[in-house]
Amino acid sequence: MSIQWKDEYSVNVKLIDDQHKNFIKILNKIYDSLDNMQSANLNIIFIELISYINYHFTTEEKYFEIFDYEGKTEHEADHNKFRKKINELRQNFHENKVALTLDLADYLEDWLLNHINGMDKKYTKCFNDHGLS
Q: Domain range spanning residue 72?
A: 11-129
**pLDDT exceeds cutoff 60 at 98:** no
Which CATH number belongs to the domain containing residue 93 in this structure? 1.20.120.50
Give the rounded percent of residues in the chain with a pLDDT score beyond 90.
Answer: 62
For residue 115, is it within any domain? yes
For residue 34, is it within any domain? yes
Q: What is the model's pLDDT at position 15?
A: 97
Q: What is the model's pLDDT at position 103?
A: 73
Mean pLDDT value across the chain: 89
Q: How many domains does the chain have?
A: 1
For residue 85, is it within any domain? yes
For residue 3, is it within any domain? no
For residue 19, is it within any domain? yes
Report the C-alpha gap between 107 and 3 in whole angstroms: 13
For residue 4, is it within any domain? no
Q: Is the dihedral of CA 103, 35, 6, 51 positive or negative?
A: positive
Report the C-alpha gap between 115 and 75 in whole angstroms: 9
Q: Which has more pLDDT, 105 or 81?
A: 81
For residue 1, is it within any domain? no
